[in-house]
Copies of this chain bind each other. A is one copy, B any other.
Amino acid sequence: MEYRIALLPGDGIGPEIVANSKKILSKLVENYALNLQITEVEAGDSALAKYGDPLPKQTLDIINKSHIILKGPVGESAMDVVVKLRQMYDMYANIRPAKSLPNVPNKYGNVDILIVRENTEDLYKGFEFMLSDDTSIGIKVITKKASERIVKVALKYALERNKKITCVHKANVMRITDGLFSRVCKEILKGSEVKFEEMYVDAAAANLVRDPSRFDVIVTTNVYGDILSDEAAQIAGSLGLAPSANIGDSKALFEPVHGAAFDIAGKNIANPTAFLLSVSMMLDYIYSLSKEIKYKNASNALQNAIYEVYKEGKTLTPDIGGSAKLTDFIDAIYSKIA
Contacts and interface: CB of A to CB of B under 8 A. Distances in A.
Contacts of A140: 123, 137-140
| Interface SS majority for chain A | helix
Interface string A192-236: 000000000111011111100000000000011011111101110
Interface string A121-147: 001101011100111111111111100
A173 B124 contact: yes
A156 B287 CA distance: 57
A172 interface: yes
A136 B206 contact: no
A136 B76 CA distance: 30
A314 B123 CA distance: 49
B227 A173 contact: no
5 contacts: A123-B174, A137-B141, A202-B230, A210-B234, A210-B239
A198 B232 CA distance: 21
B137 A144 contact: no
Given A128-B174, A170-B223, 12 more contacts: A107-B108, A133-B144, A134-B145, A136-B142, A136-B143, A138-B174, A139-B139, A205-B230, A205-B231, A206-B230, A206-B234, A209-B234
A173 B81 CA distance: 11
Contact of A177 (B137, B145, B209, B233): B137
Contacts of A202: 226-227, 229-231
A234 B235 CA distance: 13
Interface string A157-182: 00000000000001011111101100
Contacts of A223: 170, 223
Contact of A176 (B76, B130, B145, B206): B130
Contact of A205 (B79, B136, B207, B228): B228
A167 to B, nearest CB: 16
